Amino acid sequence: MAVELHATDGDRVGRGDHLATLRGSTRTTLVAERTVLNVLSRTSGVATHTRRWADELAGTGATVLDTRKTTPGLRALEKYAVRCGGGTNKRMGLYDVAMIKDNHKLAAGGLTAAYEAVRHAYPDVDVQVEVTTTVEALESVTAGARFLLCDNMSPQQLAEAVAAVRATGESVELEATGGLTLEVAREYAETGVDYLSVGGLTHSSPIVDIALDLDPDDA
């Protein structure tokens, strides 16, 4: 099977554009058709959705991130599609960034205790702390955290937390998440956060309808 590409990953294309030409066995082509189109339509949908977010955030200094909410077996492909669409991969699994969330705080007896426990057990792994208030954000910075996940804050609450953290003088990365939509994306980005994480990039992106047609002259 020979493949001639007419577009490369990340290109903007429109209805009627030819993406590739396949030359080879008709039987093999038709056997593989649906699987190939399913994957291509899915990943193209993820890239297209991500591009809408990247375009919306352009000029704000904020970047759109994906999450681990991916289709089983397709994580690497879907995260690659996010990159093609102008987004950034946050983490591939539990192993590359340790996250401290509400349940971890409760189990450890508090935010600071949870952070110290993770840092002690895994000194070489980046640690991100989920916070829901400015008070928690400042406690996290005092504990040593340099990566905060600001969860389900309003734009006003987020702006307050960002300002308070920046005022400490520490180099801290700030990420907004929870209930984010394209309609409010820029408002959140303009609070000064570094990232907006959007699970919907990989779990709710509509597919791009891509078809494979035989050339009648060759059939």
* Residues with active-site annotation: 34, 69, 101, 130, 151
Give the E-state strand segments of 77-187 in sequence order.
Answer: 97-100, 126-131, 147-151, 173-177
Query: For residue 126, what are the CA distances in angstroms to 85, 115, 122, 150?
Result: 26, 11, 9, 17
Q: Are 78 and 202 in contact (CB under 8 A)?
A: yes
CA 176 to chain centre: 12
User: Which of helix, strand or coil describes residue 88?
Assistant: strand
Q: Across-strand partners of 149? A: 130, 175
